[in-house]
Structure formats: structure tokens, C-alpha cells
């Protein structure tokens, strides 16, 4: 069925039933949450997603508590709908950031970047927030549920930014049949409604989407950054490569550019200096890690798409134009409903 012809109401009703658990968890119209992308997922995009019936999530990143409080207040001025805040577990002031969220009555706190410390998780729950955690494996998913996570996100290696080693296709098969106590949302490489539908039917409560929303009209990303996404193909979004196992590089999926090439050259130069005894192992590791410092901001805000970091998921090939957030959400929902309608009644 062509989604230019709207699917029948029965298909939308069936999709609503499949999304019911996830939508109820977030208090949103649809069980679609925005991926938290540093410098991108700020008040304008977050509010636009929540107003469109999805669930927007602020990317706190390296923000300090007062700055996060400003961003939450700014978002609340743009929407009366629920939204969440994504906190990086390694942030040195994690508990203060949790307090900022609780004071502002943020309904959901998403812990990312590692297992959240027990104290921070307990603080969030006791303060009345729902807690969402990322689970990269079944054993960890079960542990997080035991620790009090109210919902999980399983994110495959197809995603943009920092990634794990396993694809969503495998994670979904590994985790969805065995974790049913809490809603589980899928993420990584999702760019169309048909894919969302397939995971809903496997038992997912909904989907997290980041890359598709970078080119939302409301997103403040620089026009150069958006153009790079519109031009990009799935094969252009590759993970960073590690040259020496003694110096681990956390894989980051991004569109290839001059900066990516220079990162390889930089690693090689640092390794040469280490072997020559000019740098200690710790100094060499720090030098490699510092290469990308500020690179995402340079690309997203300043528009330096040659030297900055173009973090993007493999679904970037499905980003073809700039559209309002509400239009993207409606398109995803219509695609899923159209796929349902194609099957006919009782199938």
C-alpha cells in the first residue's frame, strides 16, 4: 500500500494497540522516543517531538547542573507534553543532575553510557521519576531490571555515536523474548515505520529514533550538518577504527570526512611517539582520546563538517530532506499502519 493513500482507521487502531504499553509508559501519543544527541537534542527539537506525539529527550551530555536546569525550563516553555532527560552515568555531578531533573518535575530520566550507580538510580526513583536504562546484553538487561529500571533501551551497532558490537537484529532476538517485566524499546538503524512494526510484533514496546530527526525543521543543527545527512548513505556511516589494541578506541559511528582520516593519521603518529619512548602509555591514550574533543560541537553548531564529527546512524540514507518533526512522526506511523493494512483482516 502506498502511504500517499492513508491506511484505513482499523490499521491505525491496531498499531495503537501494539504501541499501547510504550505510549502509556511515556504518557505520549506514540511509543516513539527521540534519541538523545549532544548539541542536537535541545529544547527546540525535544519540544517539537513531544508536541508531535512522540517523546522528546534532552541530551544533557557534559552540561553542568545550572545549565541543565535552564534547558529543562526552556523546554517546558515550549511544550506542556511529557519529555525526558538523558544523563551520562560518568558525569562527575550525576546525583546533582538527577536532583535538577526531580526539582523540575521531569517525568523520565534516561541513564546512558554505562550501568547507573545504585545511589543515582535510587535517588531518581524515590524522587518520583521513571528510570530508563540501556542494556547491551541479556544478562545486563536482567540485572538492570532487578536493580529497579522501569524500562530498557536495547541499542544496536547500527546506531550513530558511541556504539556496542552487536546489531539490533541480534539484540532483539536475544532480549525481547526473555525480558517482559518492563517495557523494552529498540534503537539503532531505524528509519521507517515497517521496521518499527516488525519490532513491535517481536515484543518491543516502541522504538528510539535519532538520525531521522536531525533534519527536522525545528532542529538547530547547522545547515551544513543537515546537508551532510541528506547526502549521506548507509555505507558512509562507519565506526572509528582502532590501530593498536593497547590503546582502545571506543567505536563511534559517524559519516566519514577529513577529520576521520586525520584521526587515523593521529593515532599512527601517537603510536610512533609511544614506541620511541617520547610518551608514556597514559599520555598516549589521553592524546588519542582528546583528538575528538569539541568535534561534535564544531560540526553541529559551527557547521565545520570537514573537521568536526558527523555522528550518524546507518539509517542516514533514509534522510532525504528537511521536514517538520510532526511530519516525520506522521510518516513513520503511516508507514507502520500501511504495512499492517497490507496484510488484510485477521492476519
Average pLDDT over residues 176-203: 98
> Cell triple for residue 96?
546533582
Is the per-residue pLDDT at 332 higher than 60? yes
Let me know if residue 15 belongs to a domain.
yes
Bridge partners for 208 per DSSP: 33, 187
Average per-residue pLDDT for the chain: 95
The answer to whether residues 215 and 305 touch, using CB atoms and an 8 Å cutoff, is: no
Model confidence at 73: pLDDT above 80: yes
- Which cell is 23 given? 505510549
Same domain, 147 and 270: no
Instruction: State residue 116's pLDDT score.
Output: 96
Cβ(324)–Cβ(217) under 8 Å?
yes
Check pLDDT > 90 for residue 103: yes
- Alpha carbon distance 93, 79 (integer Å): 27
Query: Is residue 1 one of the residues assigned to a domain?
Result: no
Flag whether pLDDT at 346 surpasses 80.
Answer: no
- For the stretch 282-325, pLDDT in tens is 998 888 888 887 899 999 999 999 999 999 999 999 999 999 99
Confidence of residue 4 (pLDDT cuts 50, 70, 90): low
**What values do phi and psi take at 57, rounded to 5?**
-135, 120
Q: Please, where are the H alpha helices in the chain?
A: 9-26, 43-51, 65-76, 94-103, 118-126, 138-147, 168-175, 193-202, 223-231, 258-275, 281-290, 295-300, 325-343
| pLDDT for the residue numbered 2 | 47
202 and 275 both lie in a single domain = no
In a shared domain, residues 192 and 295:
no
pLDDT tens digits for range 27-62: 999 999 999 999 999 999 999 999 999 999 999 999
What percent of the chain has pLDDT above 70? 97
Q: What average pLDDT does this structure show over 340-346?
A: 76
CA-based nearest residue to 271, from 291, 229, 243? 243
What pLDDT shows up at residue 292? 83
Is 186 domain-assigned?
Answer: yes
Residue 267: pLDDT over 50: yes
187 shares its domain with 307: no
User: So what's the pLDDT on residue 247?
Assistant: 86
DSSP structural state of residue 212: G
- Which residues neighbour 56 within 8 Å (Cβ) at sequence distance 6 or greater? 33, 34, 41, 45, 46, 47, 48, 49, 50, 75, 79, 83, 84
Share of the chain above pLDDT 90, in %: 86
Within a domain: residue 227?
Answer: no
C-alpha 185/C-alpha 30 separation (Å) is 12
Residue at 2 is within a domain: no
Is residue 45 within 8 Å of 324, Cβ to Cβ?
A: no
pLDDT reported for residue 6: 83
Whether 62 and 30 map to the same domain: the answer is: yes
| Range with lowest mean pLDDT among 21-25, 69-73, 84-88, 280-284 | 280-284
Contacts of 64 (CB under 8 A, 6+ apart): 93
Distance from C-alpha of 136 to C-alpha of 335, rounded to nearest angstrom: 28
Tens of pLDDT, residues 147-164? 999 999 999 999 999 899
Clarify whether residues 275 and 325 are in a common domain: no
- Residue 80: pLDDT band (50, 70, 90) is very high
- Pair (239, 200) in one structural domain: no
Whether residues 187 and 130 fall in one domain: yes
Whether 228 maps to a domain, the answer reads no
Query: Is the residue at 226 inside a domain?
Result: no
- Kindly state whether residues 194 and 50 are assigned to the same domain: yes
The whole-number pLDDT of residue 286 equals 86
Residue 295 lies in a domain: yes
Instruction: Say whether both 139 and 193 belong to one domain.
Output: yes
Find the CATH number of the domain harbouring 45: 3.20.20.70
Residue 232 has a pLDDT of 97
- Identify the pLDDT of residue 1: 44
Q: Is the same domain home to 183 and 159?
A: yes
- Residue 216: what are its φ and ψ, rounded to 5°? -65, 145
Give CA–CA dist 227/100, Å, rounded: 35
Residue 249 has what pLDDT? 82
Domain that includes residue 199, residue range: 9-221+317-343
Clarify whether residues 146 and 278 are in a common domain: no
- Cα–Cα distances (Å) from 265 to 285, 287, 341, in that order, read 15, 13, 52
The number of domains in the chain is 2
pLDDT at 345: 58
Amino acid at each position: 500500500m502506498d502511504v500517499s493513500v492513508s491506511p484505513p482507521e482499523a490499521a491505525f487502531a491496531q498499531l495503537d494497540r501494539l504501541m499501547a504499553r510504550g505510549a502509556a509508559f511515556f504518557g505520549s501519543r506514540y511509543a516513539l522516543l527521540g534519541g538523545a544527541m549532544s548539541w542536537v537534542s535541545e529544547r527546540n527539537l525535544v519540544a517539537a517531538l513531544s508536541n508531535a506525539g512522540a517523546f522528546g529527550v534532552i541530551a544533557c551530555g557534559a552540561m553542568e547542573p545550572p545549565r541543565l536546569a535552564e534547558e529543562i525550563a526552556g523546554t517546558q516553555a515550549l511544550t506542556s507534553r511529557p519529555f525526558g532527560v538523558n544523563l551520562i552515568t560518568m558525569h562527575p555531578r550525576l546525583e546533582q543532575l538527577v536532583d535538577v531533573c526531580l526539582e523540575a518535575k521531569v517525568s523520565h530520566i534516561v541513564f546512558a553510557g554505562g550501568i547507573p550507580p545504585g545511589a543515582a538510580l535510587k535517588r531518581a526513583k524515590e524522587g518520583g521519576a521513571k528510570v530508563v536504562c540501556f542494556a547491551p546484553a541479556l544478562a545486563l538487561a536482567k540485572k538492570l531490571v532487578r536493580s529497579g529500571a522501569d524500562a530498557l533501551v536495547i541499542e544496536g551497532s547500527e546506531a550513530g555515536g558511541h556504539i556496542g558490537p552487536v546489531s539490533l537484529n541480534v539484540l532483539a532476538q536475544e532480549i525481547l523474548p526473555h525480558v517482559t517485566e518492563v517495557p523494552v524499546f529498540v534503537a539503532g538503524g531505524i528509519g521507517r515505520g515497517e521496521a518499527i512494526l516488525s519490532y513491535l510484533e517481536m515484543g518491543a514496546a516502541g522504538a528510539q529514533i535519532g538520525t531521522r530527526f536531525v533534519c527536522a525543521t525545528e532542529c538547530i543543527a547547522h545547515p551544513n550538518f543537515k546537508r551532510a545527512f541528506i547526502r549521506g548513505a548507509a555505507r558512509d556511516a562507519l565506526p572509528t577504527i582502532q590501530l593498536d589494541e593497547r590503546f582502545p578506541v571506543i567505536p563511534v559511528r559517524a559519516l566519514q570526512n577529513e577529520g576521520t582520516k586525520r584521526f587515523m593519521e593521529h593515532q599512527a603518529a601517537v603510536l610512533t611517539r609511544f614506541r620511541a619512548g617520547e610518551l608514556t602509555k597514559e599520555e598516549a591514550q589521553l592524546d588519542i582520546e582528546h583528538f575528538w574533543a569539541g568535534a561534535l560541537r564544531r560540526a553541529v553548531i559551527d557547521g565545520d563538517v570537514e573537521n568536526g564529527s558527523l555522528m550518524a546512524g546507518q539509517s542516514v540514507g533514509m534522510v532525504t530532506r528537511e521536514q517538520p518533526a510532526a511530519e516525520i512522526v506522521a510518516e513513520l506511523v503511516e508507514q507502520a499502519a500501511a504495512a499492517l493494512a497490507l496484510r488484510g483482516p485477521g492476519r
